[in-house]
C-alpha cells in the first residue's frame, strides 16, 4: 500500500469513527432532573424556582427561536420596544405575584387605557360613564346613567348581558346600542362564531364600569417591565443550572431525554399525539408596520369593532413612553388556528371542555408529569394568573 493510500485509508477510518461518535452523542439518552416544555411565563417561572430555590438542574425545550413566549419583545430600528405578540400590560391584585416578579425588574408606571372606534367617533373602552356620554345624546345619556346608578350603584361593574336582560326599556335600549357598536362584530371576528355561540364568560371578561375612571384595569398592581419583558425573563433565567434549547420541538427530543419530572406548558393534546382529536383554538396575525410619523393614534390601543377583519391597532411607543420621530404600529387580525400558526385563545364551549377532560384523565395516569399554563390547562390566563399557577404548582410538587 502506498503512502498516499495509507493516508486516504486513515482519513476514511477517522471519518467513520467521528461519524459514529457524532451519531452516538446525537442519539444518546440525555439525563436531566427537570425538563420544562415552553419558555413562556409559566415555564420560565417554574424554571426559576427549581434552579434558585430547589437548586436543581433544569432543561427548557422551546419550539420558538426566543424566550418569553407571547410576552417576548424587542427593540426595532425605530428604537421602539415592540411587543411582537400583541399588547401585554401587566396587572394583578396578588401581592405575591407582584413581589415575585419585582425581583427581576423595575416597573414603568403604565396604566393601560384604550379607545374603541364607533359611528360616533372614538370612545373610551371598556365602557364606562364617559363612554355613555360620548356614545349617546345628552338627554338619553343622562337618563341611562341615572338608571344604571340607581340600579347598580357607582363604582360597580356589570356585563352587557345584565343590561340586555333588564326589564327597563331605557337600560335595554342603551344595551342594544352598545352591543351593536362595541361588542357584536368584534366578538364575531375574535371568535369566528356568532355571539350567541360564544361562552358567556368571554363577554363577561369585558365589563361595563360605572365610573368616570378611564383605566382599562382596576387591579392594585399595574405596570410594564421598565426594560421590557424579554429583559425580565432573561434575569429570571440567569442561573447556570438552567439550560435552554430554542427552536426545538418536544416531539423531536422526547425519546432522547430522561428526566425525573416533566413540566409541560405546551398544548396537552400534542403531548398525547391528538389521540382524542385536536383542541380548538383561535389564533392571531400581526401586521407590524413602521410609519414615518411621530404618532399614529391617540393612545396605545384602539379597538375596531366594525372593521371587516381587524380587531385592534397597537402603537407600541406609548407603552414605555418612548420618544421617537417615527412610530411602530401592530394591526391585529384574528384567525382560526390551523396548525401552522400559533395557539392563542382556548375556545370555551362544552364540547371542547369535554375533549379537554379526556386528555386530563390521561394526564392523571402519568407519574411526575405535570401540565400547566394556558395550553397545558386549556384555560385562558392573564399574565399574573399564569405566574401564580406556576408558583402554586411548584409548591405542590416540591414542598409537599
The three cell numbers of residue 3 are 503512502
Nearest to 154 by CA among 209, 219, 216: 209
The pTM of this model reads: 0.89
pLDDT at 326: 97
3-class SS of residue 42? helix
115 DSSP β-pair partners:
124, 302
Average confidence (pLDDT) per 10 residues, the chain, 400 residues = 55 47 54 97 98 98 98 97 97 98 98 95 95 96 96 92 89 93 92 81 78 93 98 98 97 95 98 97 97 97 96 98 97 95 94 97 97 97 98 94
47-100, pLDDT tens digit by residue? 999 999 999 999 999 999 999 999 999 999 999 999 999 999 999 999 999 999
Delineate the domains of the chain, giving CATH numbers in brackets. Answer: 32-110+221-280+346-398 (3.40.50.720), 114-209 (no CATH)
Contact at 8 Å (CB) between 373 and 42? Answer: yes
pLDDT at 4: 52
Residue count of the chain, please give it: 400
The span from the CA of 9 to the CA of 116, in Å, is: 75
Handedness of CA 213, 217, 220, 224 (dihedral sign): negative
The three cell numbers of residue 208 are 361595563
Contact at 8 Å (CB) between 337 and 148? Answer: no
Contact at 8 Å (CB) between 133 and 120? Answer: no
End-to-end CA gap in the chain: 70
The span from the CA of 397 to the CA of 35, in Å, is: 14
Amino acid at each position: 500500500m502506498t503512502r498516499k493510500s495509507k493516508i486516504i485509508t486513515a482519513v476514511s477510518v477517522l471519518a467513520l469513527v467521528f461519524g459514529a461518535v457524532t451519531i452516538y452523542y446525537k442519539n444518546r439518552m440525555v439525563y436531566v432532573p427537570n425538563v420544562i416544555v415552553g419558555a413562556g411565563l409559566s415555564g420560565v417561572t417554574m424554571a426559576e424556582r427549581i434552579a434558585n430555590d430547589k437548586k436543581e438542574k433544569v432543561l427548557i425545550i422551546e419550539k420558538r427561536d426566543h424566550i418569553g413566549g407571547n410576552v417576548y419583545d424587542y427593540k426595532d430600528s425605530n428604537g421602539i420596544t415592540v411587543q411582537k405578540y400583541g399588547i401585554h400590560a401587566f396587572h394583578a391584585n396578588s401581592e405575591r405575584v407582584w413581589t415575585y416578579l419585582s425581583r427581576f425588574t423595575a416597573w414603568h408606571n403604565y396604566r393601560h387605557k384604550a379607545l374603541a372606534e364607533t359611528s360616533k367617533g372614538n370612545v373610551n373602552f371598556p365602557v364606562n360613564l364617559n363612554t355613555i356620554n360620548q356614545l349617546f345624546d345628552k338627554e338619553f345619556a343622562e337618563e341611562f346613567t341615572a338608571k344604571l346608578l340607581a340600579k347598580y350603584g357607582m363604582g360597580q361593574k356589570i356585563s352587557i348581558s345584565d343590561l340586555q336582560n333588564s326589564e327597563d326599556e331605557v337600560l335595554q335600549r342603551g344595551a342594544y346600542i352598545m352591543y351593536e357598536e362595541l361588542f357584536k362584530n368584534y366578538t364575531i371576528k375574535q371568535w369566528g362564531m356568532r355571539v350567541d355561540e360564544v361562552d358567556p364568560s368571554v363577554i363577561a371578561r369585558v365589563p361595563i364600569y360605572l365610573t368616570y375612571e378611564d383605566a382599562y384595569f382596576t387591579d392594585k398592581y399595574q405596570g410594564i417591565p421598565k426594560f421590557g419583558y424579554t429583559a425580565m425573563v432573561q434575569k429570571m433565567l440567569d442561573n447556570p443550572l438552567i439550560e435552554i434549547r430554542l427552536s426545538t420541538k418536544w416531539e423531536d427530543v422526547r425519546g432522547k431525554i430522561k428526566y425525573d419530572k416533566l413540566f409541560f406548558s405546551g398544548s396537552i393534546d400534542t403531548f398525547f399525539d391528538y389521540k382524542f382529536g385536536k383542541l380548538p383554538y383561535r389564533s392571531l396575525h400581526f401586521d407590524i408596520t413602521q410609519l414615518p410619523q411621530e404618532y399614529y393614534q391617540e393612545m396605545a390601543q384602539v379597538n375596531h369593532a366594525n372593521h371587516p377583519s381587524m380587531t385592534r391597532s397597537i402603537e407600541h411607543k406609548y407603552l414605555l413612553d418612548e420618544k421617537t420621530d417615527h412610530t411602530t404600529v401592530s394591526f391585529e387580525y384574528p384567525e382560526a388556528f390551523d396548525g401552522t400558526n400559533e395557539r392563542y385563545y382556548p375556545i370555551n364551549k362544552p364540547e371542547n371542555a369535554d375533549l379537554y377532560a379526556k386528555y386530563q384523565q390521561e394526564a392523571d395516569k402519568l407519574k411526575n408529569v405535570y401540565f400547566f399554563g394556558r395550553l397545558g390547562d386549556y384555560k385562558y390566563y392573564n399574565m399574573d394568573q399564569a405566574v401564580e399557577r406556576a408558583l402554586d404548582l411548584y409548591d405542590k410538587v416540591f414542598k409537599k
